[in-house]
A and B are shown apart, each in its own frame.
Chain A
Amino acid sequence: MSHGATAVSEQVGSDAAPAAQAQPAVLELSGVSRLHAGRPVWAPVDLRVAAGALCIVTGDNGSGKTTLLRLAAGLLRPSTGSRSCTGRALYVRAGAGLRGVQTVAAAVAGTAGLVGRRPAAAAALTRLGLDGFAPRRVGTLSAGERVRVTLAAVLAAEPSLLCLDEPTGVLDERGVEDLLAVLRQLRAAGCAVLLATHQPAAVLAGADAHLHLSGGRVGRHDPVSA
């Protein structure tokens, strides 16, 4: 393999390793890699993510974080290996995902409605304290507010896997706390989360695993020490 890359085998669960194995796997990547301009972005990855687990993905710009998340979400086909995912996987980039011309209430309801959960939209807004935003247009919200509203739509949709790409870049301290609170709710409902970020310190405390991408290598770090 070029880049001198090495494979990594990762088992991500919401508890200690033995318990993680007992959890049903939401996502399984087996020997997965993705070619870009004829070269692998990173070495083949074996990754098993259990229901309710939080896996942080870090790495320099261009290291392949977005590629890994989009592949995990099923938006990209792996060049080698196989991917299996139980339930629905959603990918959200930079906290955006709703149409700007719609009101928050309509956009969240419309997104939840795509998976047959339109009635859950109002409750999701209430759970996140976003009732006051309901009549506002998504396009008029600040970047941080838009992240929270998009997360409300995700919360209502109840995916089995959520791939969040750089959601913390536009968030202030309170926004990150809100994000973590939403992630706790999602994980409690059995949703596994892959979160790519350049600011791991803010989110690592509650993580089950930390993957670091660098120079074509996928390495594992201790979640609490990075």
Chain B
Amino acid sequence: MSPAAQVFAVARREFDVERAGREVTVTTAPYIAAFVVLAGLAFGPAPSELARTAAGTVWLAVLVAAVTVGHSVAGVEIAEQSWDLLRGSVDPGPLFVGKLLAVWAALGLAWLLVSALVAVLFAAPPPGSAVWAGVFGTLGLASLSTALGVLVATGTRRRGLLAALILPAGLPALLAGTQLTTPDVPALPWAVMMALYAAVLLTVSWAVFPALLEE
């Protein structure tokens, strides 16, 4: 079985499980929706203040979503004792990419949901450069969530450690994503930074993933 076929099989299994249980959806979507509403109440009601905080609210919510989605990478599998069978069936590389695709899709949808909510509730439609941030920012955060989700779940470490690791490491995505989502900010430097951030995290996560699986 080729690595590409294994990636497809892992990703398909992830989407089948999500379709059956809606685990990520029910743990993430209401959480980030409530986050946006509460942020609106905290920063509003002045329209100028809401517009000024809209971009930051989007990326803070996506960063928080990366923590909740990260728990689904291996934590739930280990709790249900399905992790060992999965690991034995698939090589580390395809396992990483298959899981990454599922996490990326979840964070991409979270970004879309938050962006739509903020555009409506904050009356602050994002500029075109926000799409660049949405693609590469969620890719970088997905790489981080996938690797750290396994790191935290497979050891004797506490679940809370995932947030403590992801939030600081996701800071570049928060900064660059906020700038790219703010109107009238020069996009190119931040877009380059976001792409580099995603490339570095993807490369490092890919490289260390097999070691994270070893016990």
B is a partner of A: yes
Whole-angstrom distance from the CB of B90 to the nearest CB of chain A? 5
B residues 1-21 near A (Cβ < 8 Å) are: 1, 5-6, 9-10, 12-13, 16-17, 20-21
Contact present for B88 and A73 (CB under 8 Å): yes
Whole-angstrom distance from the CB of B116 to the nearest CB of chain A? 27
| A3-11, A49-57, A84-92, A191-199 - the one binding chain B | A84-92
Contact present for A96 and B81 (CB under 8 Å): yes
Q: Which of B6, B13, B21, B84 contacts A110 (CB 8 A)?
A: B13
| A18-26, A113-121, A168-176, A218-226 - the one binding chain B | A113-121
B residues 73-104 near A (Cβ < 8 Å) are: 77, 80-82, 84-90
| A39-47, A98-106, A125-133, A206-214 - the one binding chain B | A98-106
Q: Could you tell me how many residues of chain A have their Cβ less than 8 Å away from some Cβ of chain B?
A: 34
Task: Judge whether A157 is part of the interface by a CB distance below 8 angstroms.
Answer: yes
Q: Which of B1, B20, B88 contacts A74 (CB 8 A)?
A: B88
Most buried by A among B10, B84, B88, B90: B88
Q: Which of B20, B77, B82, B88 contacts A106 (CB 8 A)?
A: B20
4 further A-B pairs in the complex, CB-CB below 8 A; given A70-B84, A116-B1:
A73-B84, A100-B80, A106-B16, A110-B13
Whole-angstrom distance from the CB of B26 to the nearest CB of chain A? 11
List B residues at the A interface (Cβ < 8 Å).
Answer: 1, 5-6, 9-10, 12-13, 16-17, 20-21, 23, 77, 80-82, 84-90, 214-215
Residues of B within 8 A of A101 (CB): 17, 20-21, 23
Whole-angstrom distance from the CB of B156 to the nearest CB of chain A? 13
How many residue pairs at the A-B interface have CB separations less than 8 Å?
Answer: 85
Whole-angstrom distance from the CB of B74 to the nearest CB of chain A? 13
Most buried by B among A70, A77, A98, A99: A99
Q: Which of A70, A88, A90, A99 contacts B17 (CB 8 A)?
A: A99
Contact present for A92 and B84 (CB under 8 Å): yes
Task: Judge whether A93 is part of the interface by a CB distance below 8 angstroms.
Answer: yes
Task: Judge whether A33 is part of the interface by a CB distance below 8 angstroms.
Answer: no
Residues of B within 8 A of A89 (CB): 88
A-B contact pairs, 10 of them (CB 8 A): A70-B84, A92-B85, A97-B84, A97-B85, A99-B21, A110-B17, A114-B86, A115-B89, A115-B90, A150-B85
Q: How far is the CA of A153 from the CA of B81 in the complex (A)?
A: 14
Task: Judge whether A111 is part of the interface by a CB distance below 8 angstroms.
Answer: yes
Q: Which of A75, A106, A159 contacts B84 (CB 8 A)?
A: A75
Contact present for A75 and B80 (CB under 8 Å): no
Contact present for A93 and B81 (CB under 8 Å): yes
Residues of A within 8 A of B215 (CB): 70, 75-77
Residues of A within 8 A of B17 (CB): 99, 101-102, 110
Whole-angstrom distance from the CB of B106 to the nearest CB of chain A? 16
Task: Judge whether A203 is part of the interface by a CB distance below 8 angstroms.
Answer: no
Contact present for B21 and A90 (CB under 8 Å): no
Q: How far is the CA of A99 from the CA of B17 in the complex (A)?
A: 7
CB-based nearest A residue for B13: A110
Task: Judge whether A94 is part of the interface by a CB distance below 8 angstroms.
Answer: yes
Known contacts: A73-B88, A91-B88. The answer to whether A97 contacts B81 by CB under 8 A is yes
CB-based nearest A residue for B85: A97
Whole-angstrom distance from the CB of A40 to the nearest CB of chain B? 16
Q: How far is the CA of A35 from the CA of B87 in the complex (A)?
A: 22
CB-based nearest A residue for B17: A99
